[in-house]
Amino acid sequence: MFVSHDDWPPPPRWEPPRPPPRKRMSAAGEKFLLWVVGVNLLLLFVAPIAGASMVQLLWMLME
């Protein structure tokens, strides 16, 4: 019986292909995202104060 040793060393193990790299946001998209985050942070501090004053206004109007 003949054994062929032409394929030595064995081929590397099979690995699935790597996914393509994710696309980065454009400069305009990053700028817009920063604006949205900034407005949300501002509203995080302003909205409770405005909400409390609206409740107080409604309370005064009810009396």
Tens of pLDDT along 8-52?
777 789 999 999 999 999 999 999 999 999 999 998 888 877 777
User: Which residues are CB-contacts of 25 (< 8 A; sequence separation ≥ 6)?
Assistant: 33
Instruction: Give the DSSP letter of residue 27.
Output: H
Cis peptide leading into residue 9 (ω within 30°): yes
- The type of residue at 53 is S
CA distance linking residue 53 with residue 39, whole number of Å: 20
Q: What global pTM score does this model have?
A: 0.50
pLDDT at residue number 20:
93
